[in-house]
Amino acid sequence: MTSIASITESASIPQPDTGALNPAGILATGFSFWSSKVLLTAVDLGVFTHLAGNRLRGEELGQILGLHPRGIWDFFDALVALGFLQRSGNGVDALYFNSAETEQFLDRNKPSYVGGMLEMCNARLYGFWGSLTEALRTGRPQNEAKTGGDLFGNLYRSPEKLEGFPGRFCGWFSAACRCRRAGCARAAGGKNHCLKNPVRFLLRWLRVPIPP
């Protein structure tokens, strides 16, 4: 009589080759909030705007930004490691300057600025995503509604905020449209209409009622 044990022993059950497996992707994703927060903080502080067209020592840049000297070199070197800044030289006399991309897209004085969306992510979304577990368990919103707030209600009550809100997204949507220009042109009958009026494009995307 054949026992269950003998069947189990003779069965060919494929086993993963643990020697070929690598947890690097898992760990990289798990720690990716570190690099995200470094970039969002740099945008919020105006690092790339102050460095636009300039090369500054870490101490000088830290003073301009109002930062405590303890962490300035670690912070700026982290931006170098992530590819958002470049550095010439070593030590306290090293000069920091923007990469080609951050010079073009993260200088607030340029129309190509895409940092408005990142500023909003830092101010609002980063904290909300910290409550993802609670949102999944309760089904309740974790944005302003959680504390009785209303994002668009607050915007409409403040003319200054309402005026500045769409502008935060113009550069971001223009950049997105440049990346998808051919598709936008086809969708608009040969006209890049989202490039012509990115504010209306944004409001429609957010499902905000606007006149035709």
More confident residue, 92 or 85: 85
Which pLDDT does position 182 carry in this prediction?
47
Residue 45 three-state SS? helix
pLDDT score of 143: 75
Query: In the predicted model, is pLDDT for residue 78 greater than 50?
Result: yes
Question: What is the Cα–Cα distance from 97 to 150, expressed in whole angstroms?
Answer: 39
CA-based torsion, 109, 112, 118, 123: positive or negative: positive
Mean pLDDT confidence for 91-98:
94
pLDDT at position 96 over 70 = yes
Mean pLDDT of the chain: 77
> 97 pairs with which residues across the strands?
86
Taking the C-alpha atoms of residue 155 and residue 161, their distance in angstroms, rounded to an integer, is: 6
pLDDT of residue 16: 61
177 vs 105 pLDDT, higher one: 105
Q: Examine the pLDDT at 177 and tell me if it is beyond 90.
A: no
Burial of 12 (0-12, 13-18, 19+ CB in 10 A): exposed
Among candidates 75, 96, 72, which has minimal Cα distance to 85?
96
* Residues contacting residue 191 through CB under 8 Å, at least 6 positions apart: 185
What is the pLDDT, as a whole number, of residue 62?
96
pLDDT in tens, 62-75: 999 999 999 999 99
Instruction: Give the model's confidence band at 186: pLDDT under 50 very low, under 70 low, under 90 confident, else very high.
Output: very low
Chain-centre distance for alpha carbon 25: 19
Tell me what percent of the residues of the chain surpass a pLDDT of 90: 42
pLDDT of res. 190: 43
| 97-149 pLDDT tens trace | 999 999 999 999 998 898 988 988 888 888 888 888 888 888 887 776 777 66
Model pLDDT, residue 125: 82
